[in-house]
Amino acid sequence: MTGFFSSYFKLLDEKICSIKFEELVAVSDLVVQTNKKSGKIIIIGNGGSAAIASHASIDFTKAANIRAINFNESSLLTCLSNDYGYEHWAEKAIEFYADKADLVILISSSGKSKNIINAAFKVKEMGMPLVTLSGFSTDNKLKTIGDINLWVDSSQYNIIETVHQTWILSVIDHLIHKA
């Protein structure tokens, strides 16, 4: 009975530790640079990734004293989806709410979510730095667009999402520790 959990937690530990720690330092540095320019952190995801975006944006703001927002307001999502199509709501939110000094973090477990990919192209068009978090295929589209692309070598949603959350929260804790 406990064999599943033992294997699961070993796999999770392996995936969390698979990142080059320099990449997390690079993300931390981008966050600090953004904050120094009076920019904000914008974090967007779908489903479980949206929940990670909410958690991280609150912790960036409250715990690390770095302004951060996410777009999980149902009225905003349904308005932009209705007016521009679901595939375009995130890019329209970026267009309406982002400033040149901002940093955008996009999260998609598959790296194939059309609305997240469209948002990534909008971020690049607007000249802002972009961090992506994805998983599944090594050649997923999102992984090719960001300035820093954090990728989890897994095809299991819960493993990928747990690793993404751990990585982004570790950046926040790193910034708190440095301050």
Digit-coded pLDDT (tens) for 82-91? 999 999 999 9
% pLDDT > 90, the chain:
98
| Residues 153, 66: Cα–Cα separation, whole Å | 30
Q: Domains in the chain, start-ordered, CATH in brackets?
A: 3-178 (3.40.50.10490)
**C-alpha span between 67 and 102 (Å, rounded):** 10
Residues 118-159: tens digit of each pLDDT: 999 999 999 999 999 999 999 999 999 999 999 999 999 999
Mean pLDDT for the stretch of residues 33-54:
98
Report pLDDT for 1.
72
Q: What span, in angstroms and rounded, lies between the C-alpha atoms of 50 and 65?
A: 21
At residue 153, the pLDDT reads 98
Q: Cβ of 178: how many Cβ atoms within 10 Å?
A: 9
